[in-house]
Amino acid sequence: MDIDDLLNYINNDDTESEKKKKKKKKKKKKTKEDEIIEEKNENKEDEKINKEIEEKKEDKDFHSKKQKKQKKIYLPKNINTDNENNSTNIPYPKRENKYQDLIKPSENIEIIETRFQDNSHLRLINNWEEKSDKIPYFQTNYPTKSIDEQYTSLDCFSTGIIQEYNENNIWRSNNEEKKELEKYYKYTITSMRKAAECHRQIRKYAQTLLKPGIVLIDFVKKLENMLKFITNANDLECGQSFPTGVSINNIAAHHTPNSNDNTVLKYDDVMKLDFGTHINGYVIDCAFTVAFNPEYDQLLKCSQEATATGIKNAGIDMRLGELGGYIQEVIESYEVEIKGKVYKLKPIRDLCGHNMLRYHVHGEKSIPLYKNDEDNAVMEEGELYACETFVTTGKGVTKELKNCSHYMKDNLAFNNTKIKSSQPKSLFKYIDEHYSTLAFCPRWLEEGGNTNVQKSLNYLCNIGVVNPYPPLADIEGSYVAQFEHSFMLRPTCKEIFSIGDDY
Ligand code: MN
Ligand code: MN
């Protein structure tokens, strides 16, 4: 993609005729999905799984959505794209931070000027070291400073972990033209670095709270309040990019507590903590697995290694179906013993990594977790990706559960003219203004003062302007682990933004 293409890609809205065409396609797809949902069987035999995987290719889940390639993306209203090509004067927000009261510690916690943090209660998650040769640190331990108090310009954020491209692309690291092109991506890269530093500081704090016996909704609220404070959240300018995922055991993804959920985290649980930050619509999507019991070490290690392998083999011109093969190879090499039972680990076939576009956590490309010779899509220069792997002791296919907590505005819902009812209409306006095309949960809508949230959400889902993303779970009694990092295929090298001392 050259610069002109990219600018068109960023700036243009769909024409009316294209919108209609897409809507038609979408409608057709929905009917098929509905059939699939209706076909649900309670007891599934092993030989049915392959058929199910075929069906899942049509699934509307945003982890696995195989959309037709969309040339143009929808940007929220009033988003300035003028800075995209500006290599010198990137404006930096100077706003008052209104979130101090939200993060006041409940007990008398000592605030110390130290980076070190002992994470030994969390399996496979490393300690934060006093000194990092990689990333400088200006935060206190219990966080007391917002990101803007620590870093006074976008240029200050340090580079993530750099990986050189492989032999086919190693010429890029010293190519003058490619070096020049780096300037064009400066706004993207620096926004991603800032979002990543926020993510590290927030998760470091979250790690201190993770203990058996905590009530998950309390934990999630504390994390989200700290996220608001550190990012100095301001709707579409910066803040949280999707609901805090706390998916336990056989649930792989898309679970955050709704307001009536009092689930407690247990010593024997395996929990995927998946949350995201964004700066100017540039998203860090990054996750780790929480376990206290050493019995799960190999399960966690498998996902960690698979994700690292995916990132290592990623590169410009890499075919996504081939990349999936490298991930699959790692996962299927693991055999683990949990509670006296031996399992050969499997990838979850209907979940995958994905590219990311501005204000769109999931772009049009997927990194599958298995070899796929039919998928000819390749990775391209300038793309942002989240590489995530889901490894399981179960069947390797998910089903949708009830109690949906993740929702997102439909990418094609540009206006609310077809919303006749007044409460859903004002809720849709609220969603559009606060989240646009980023995912949200009912709890946030309630915290924002909206009433009758579930009823209005159901209405908006029924008419297709909002889509539900229910929790996705492997079979009862299985365990799923996940690790995820965000990176960019820069013109001269690969930069992994979200790595920290912890994972
Ligand atoms: Mn994620
Ligand atoms: Mn993701």
* Chain segment 380-389, per-residue pLDDT in tens: 999 999 999 9
Q: What are the chain's domains? A: 82-86+99-401+479-496 (3.90.230.10), 404-469 (1.10.10.10)
**Average confidence score pLDDT of the chain:** 87
Sign (positive or negative) of CA dihedral 278, 404, 460, 54: positive
Distance between Cα 467 and ligand 2 center (Å) = 17
Q: How far apart are CA 39 and CA 349, in angstroms?
A: 19
Instruction: Give me the pLDDT at residue 41, please.
Output: 42
Distance between Cα 46 and ligand 1 center (Å) = 28
**Of 143 and 87, which is predicted with more confidence?**
143
Compute CA distances 403 → 40, 257, 258, 469, whole Å.
17, 9, 8, 10
Q: How far apart are CA 368 and CA 354, in angstroms?
A: 8
Distance between Cα 332 and ligand 1 center (Å) = 22
Q: How far apart are CA 421 and CA 65, in angstroms?
A: 30
Distance between Cα 451 and ligand 2 center (Å) = 30
> Cβ(351)–Cβ(251) under 8 Å?
no
Task: Quickly list DSSP for 58-74.
Answer: T---TTT--PPPPSS--
Amino acid identity of residue 296, one-letter, is Y
The 10s digit of each residue's pLDDT in 411-456 is: 887 766 678 889 999 999 999 999 999 999 999 999 999 999 999 9
The 10s digit of each residue's pLDDT in 124-168 is: 999 999 987 767 789 999 999 999 999 988 888 999 999 999 999
Q: Cβ-count burial of 106 within 10 angstroms (0-12 exposed, 13-18 middle, 19+ buried)?
A: exposed
Which ligand number lies closest to the CA of residue 388? 2
Q: How far apart are CA 253 and CA 197, in angstroms?
A: 24
Does residue 65 carry a pLDDT above 90? Answer: no
Which helix H or strand E contains 383, and what residues bound it? none
Distance between Cα 276 and ligand 1 center (Å) = 7
The 10s digit of each residue's pLDDT in 252-271 is: 999 999 999 999 999 999 99
Does residue 51 carry a pLDDT above 70? Answer: no
Distance between Cα 469 and ligand 1 center (Å) = 13
Distance between Cα 61 and ligand 1 center (Å) = 13
Taking Cα atoms as reference points, which of 372, 390, 360, 356 lies closest to residue 318?
372
Does residue 59 carry a pLDDT above 90? Answer: no
Q: State the pLDDT confidence band at 120, using cuts at 50, 70 and 90.
A: very high
Distance between Cα 283 and ligand 2 center (Å) = 10
> Cβ(375)–Cβ(319) under 8 Å?
yes
Which ligand number lies closest to the CA of residue 64? 2
Which ligand number lies closest to the CA of residue 385? 2
Pairing label, strands 346-347, 270-279: unpaired
Q: State the pLDDT confidence band at 290, using cuts at 50, 70 and 90.
A: very high
Taking Cα atoms as reference points, which of 198, 170, 129, 459 lies closest to residue 317?
170
Instruction: Give me the pLDDT at residue 416, please.
Output: 63
Distance between Cα 193 and ligand 2 center (Å) = 17
Which ligand number lies closest to the CA of residue 256? 1
**Contacts of residue 324, Cβ cutoff 8 Å, sequence gap at least 6:** 352, 367, 368, 369, 370, 371, 372, 375
Q: Which residue is it, tokens 């769109």?
A: 360
Compute CA distances 407 → 211, 254, 410, 421, 493, whole Å.
28, 10, 9, 19, 35
Distance between Cα 19 and ligand 1 center (Å) = 29
Compute CA distances 453 → 258, 262, 445, whole Å.
11, 19, 7
The 10s digit of each residue's pLDDT in 162-195 is: 999 999 999 999 999 999 999 999 999 999 999 9
